Structure 1
């Protein structure tokens, strides 16, 4: 009998020497590589520092133009003069709150928005006051806005505005009543008067008068007086809207 041929075992893969603490061997960066990395880091730092210095301390991104929007009676130059923005000032260092405060000192300005626009523009958007009544005084027609502020004087009163005849203690209440009226009723007001904040009166077209009282409940009083005015009479009292009268 023939004996079975012995099977050959496959050659085993060469064993790797363990390195360090059981992990693969790590190559230590060469001195040249370390120096190159350090040089790159230093260059990046220098570039960042140069950019920051250029932006913060040089006219590179400085103010080149002051753009003014929203003016009506005011001119753009009047707003620029009040803003006092120095040409070439670094844009990122501008005191926008200070600029806005200086522009708001103009009597006609109710509000202003200050914006930066790269590369070198400061944009000022102005909200001018709108007159709702006029005070006729010896030096001219004083325009009064919805806050009761007397902000401008001109030789003649503008058309379509009611006259305000109010003592200082009643002016704010009189203006609140006037601005709280429905448009169709406000167009009929010729004069709004008050000596205190509780005795506002409206003189209307066709010789009619409305005794309003205080500015409290103005929407309700407006609704009541519009119903009363459908009746015959010249004096309409809604100072107490629960008990209105016509005479």
Structure 2
């Protein structure tokens, strides 16, 4: 067994070793903390710099709206659209008021949908999808050219050529005579629709057409209109004589009278 003096030396040695280890651990922890703080400071500085660049870019005259480019408009004059949006000119491109754009374009009934694209440094591209006219509706002594949703695209004192007239039978454009007839017209290819003079829908299951040649077409339900249109087109290509009525109310079955 060792002497007390030797034991005391061992205790002092162990104490010094423990203190050295503690100091080393403190230094290691401090270095890690400094590195984390430095990383946070650098990240914060980068974010502040980016935010400053974005803010300066948003408000800089270099990014002010100077040009409005309209695409897809044919029946709506592009110049009229540019004029309607002219209140946004000079505004920083990222701050163009989407609500003001929507309000301005809503005044054009021919526009069905639109999208906008900001093209730096100063151009706003407006892509237009126009409504497609499909029929005519009598409006007193005038005629309304309408799309499949019943939106009036134009009003003229004489009936526009090339469009069938929908007999509303005293109903409105949200009622069955219009909605059923419009569903059928949308299903017709353009060349076949051009051969329709008028269309009537007493109910959703009782739709009939009159062709420009005077022949009547019993259509039946608005359902399966694509197949019925294909069948009617095939019957018309056969060019039968002395036919006053085509019945395609049952898809795949055609009856000539």
- Other-structure match for 1:189: 196
Question: For the residues of structure 1 that align with 2:115 and 2:144, how far apart are their CA atoms?
Answer: 26
TM-score (norm 1): 0.70
TM-score (norm 2): 0.67
- Other-structure match for 1:63: 65
Check whether the contact 2:163–2:193 (CA below 8 A) recurs between aligned residues.
no
- Other-structure match for 2:92: 90
Question: For the residues of structure 1 that align with 2:167 and 2:186, how far apart are their CA atoms?
Answer: 15
1:158 corresponds, among 156, 160, 173, to 160
Matched, 1:235 2:245: yes
* Gap change, CA 1:44 and 1:131, over 3 Å in 2: closer
Matched, 1:116 2:118: yes
2:142 corresponds, among 121, 126, 140, to 140
* Gap change, CA 1:44 and 1:212, over 3 Å in 2: closer
After superposing the two structures, state which structure 1 stretch, 146-155 or 127-136, moved more. Answer: 146-155
1:37-76 CA distance string (max 9 Å, x none): xxx9999888655533322234331111222233223223
User: Residue 93 of structure 1: CA displacement?
Assistant: 2.3
Question: For the residues of structure 2 that align with 1:75 and 1:194, how far apart are their CA atoms?
Answer: 35
Check whether the contact 1:197–1:214 (CA below 8 A) recurs between aligned residues.
yes
Provide structure 2 residue ranges, at least 5 long, that are not aligned to the other structure.
Answer: 1-23, 25-41
Check whether the contact 2:231–2:252 (CA below 8 A) recurs between aligned residues.
no
Question: For the residues of structure 2 that align with 1:187 and 1:218, how far apart are their CA atoms?
Answer: 16
Check whether the contact 1:99–1:114 (CA below 8 A) recurs between aligned residues.
no
Provide structure 1 residue ranges, at least 5 long, that are not aligned to the other structure.
Answer: 1-20, 22-39
Question: For the residues of structure 2 that align with 1:118 and 1:195, how far apart are their CA atoms?
Answer: 55
* Gap change, CA 1:69 and 1:154, over 3 Å in 2: farther
Q: Which has the higher helix share?
A: 2
User: Residue 108 of structure 1: CA displacement?
Assistant: 0.9
User: Residue 161 of structure 1: CA displacement?
Assistant: 1.6
Once the two structures are superposed, the pairs formed by residues 1-247 of structure 1 within 5 Å of their partners are: 48=50, 50-83=52-85, 85-96=87-98, 99-100=101-102, 102-166=104-168, 167-168=171-172, 169=175, 170-226=177-233, 232-241=242-251, 245-247=255-257
The DSSP-based 3-state class of the residue aligned with 1:72 is coil
User: Residue 142 of structure 1: CA displacement?
Assistant: 1.0
Check whether the contact 1:63–1:86 (CA below 8 A) recurs between aligned residues.
yes
The DSSP-based 3-state class of the residue aligned with 1:239 is strand
- Other-structure match for 2:15: none
Question: For the residues of structure 2 that align with 1:88 and 1:172, how far apart are their CA atoms?
Answer: 45
